[in-house]
């Protein structure tokens, strides 16, 4: 079974600084997709960034970027120039190339951005 | 753009009661899913559907039923509510292209007393 591990239950960062959230996963598949979702206090789940396993280039979306290490099965999220609005729970998620697009989530990391 | 609409947003049930959580999407997505979110456990898949008339079980299906008579709607039924079903429930939808990722509804906080 696929598993996703987020080893940092909580993190904090000063406004304008950079923070990295860790995620590791376990799979025997070669073709799969990885995602980071943000859940602010509003409870809404917001897709932050996605990575396709067959692409070696790390995905980037504005201030958000990933460090995808396929051999190590690691998928960390880097947030640059942190803003107060980045305060949220962040979930790492995995889906393999299969029927149904079933997402497997990590337990989440609470990120607090301090002013 | 409505996206994924879930109702209700909050609900309190007594043990043994039944209810249906509604979910509708207007993006013509093929895939729809229900997840529950519990502290320290992330989101876990309850049931999913790859198209109208086709449903299957996820990781934690016991106590829940689903059906999908149209592409747009995917209701989740609790047949006899139990305190263990106290959770936040999310409906989500996506295109069959796995790279697109899921779009989530705003969630339903359910408390069973």
Give per-residue pLDDT as tens, A9-39: 999 999 999 999 999 999 888 888 999 999 9
pLDDT of res. A30: 83
Q: Does B44 touch chain A (CB under 8 A)?
A: yes
- Helix, strand, coil tally for chain B in percent (to 5): 5, 50, 45
CA distance A22 to A72: 12
Q: Does B27 touch chain A (CB under 8 A)?
A: no
Q: Does B33 touch chain A (CB under 8 A)?
A: yes
Mean pLDDT of B17-40: 95
Measure CB to CB from residue A91 to each of B42, B48, B107 and give the nearest one: B42
pLDDT of res. A97: 66
CB-neighbour burial class of residue B5 (10 A; exposed 0-12, middle 13-18, buried 19+)? middle
| B98 with A101: Cβ contact below 8 A | yes
CA A17 to chain centre: 18
Q: How far is B31 from chain A (nearest CA, A)?
A: 7
At residue A58, the 3 state secondary structure works out as coil
Chain A residues closer than 8 Å to B102 by CB: 47, 101, 103
pLDDT of residue A98 exceeding 90, the answer is no
Q: Does B45 touch chain A (CB under 8 A)?
A: yes
pLDDT of residue A43 exceeding 90, the answer is yes
A64-100 exposure pattern, b = at least 16 Cβ within 10 A, e = fewer: bbbebeeeebebbbbbeebeeebbbbbbbbbbbeeeb
pLDDT of res. A114: 97
CA distance A30 to B55: 26
CA distance A103 to A95: 5
If you search the block for the tokens 């998620």, which residue do you land on? A93
- Least confident among B4-8, B20-24, B94-98, B101-105: B94-98
| B102 with A47: Cβ contact below 8 A | yes
pLDDT of residue B71 exceeding 80, the answer is yes
């Amino acid at each position: 079974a696929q598993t996703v591990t987020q080893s940092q239950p909580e993190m904090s960062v000063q406004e304008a600084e950079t923070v990295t959230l860790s995620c590791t996963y376990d799979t025997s598949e070669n073709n799969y997709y990885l995602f980071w979702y943000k859940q602010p206090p509003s409870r809404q789940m917001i897709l932050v960034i996605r990575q396709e396993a067959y692409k070696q280039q790390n995905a980037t979306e504005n201030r958000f970027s990933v460090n995808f290490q396929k051999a190590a099965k690691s998928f960390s999220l880097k947030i640059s120039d942190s803003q107060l609005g980045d305060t949220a729970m962040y979930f790492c998620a995995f889906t393999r190339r299969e029927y149904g697009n079933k997402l497997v989530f990590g337990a989440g990391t609470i990120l607090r951005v301090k002013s | 753009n409505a996206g994924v609409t879930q109702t209700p947003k909050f609900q309190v049930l007594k043990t043994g009661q039944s209810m249906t959580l509604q979910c509708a999407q207007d993006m013509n997505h093929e895939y729809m899913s229900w997840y529950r979110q519990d502290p320290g456990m992330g989101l876990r898949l309850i049931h999913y559907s790859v198209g109208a008339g086709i449903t299957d079980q996820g990781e934690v299906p016991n106590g829940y039923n689903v059906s999908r008579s149209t592409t747009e709607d995917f209701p989740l039924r609790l047949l006899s509510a139990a305190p263990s079903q106290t959770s936040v429930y999310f409906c989500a939808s996506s295109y069959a292209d796995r790279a697109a990722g899921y779009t989530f509804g705003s969630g339903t906080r359910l408390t069973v007393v």
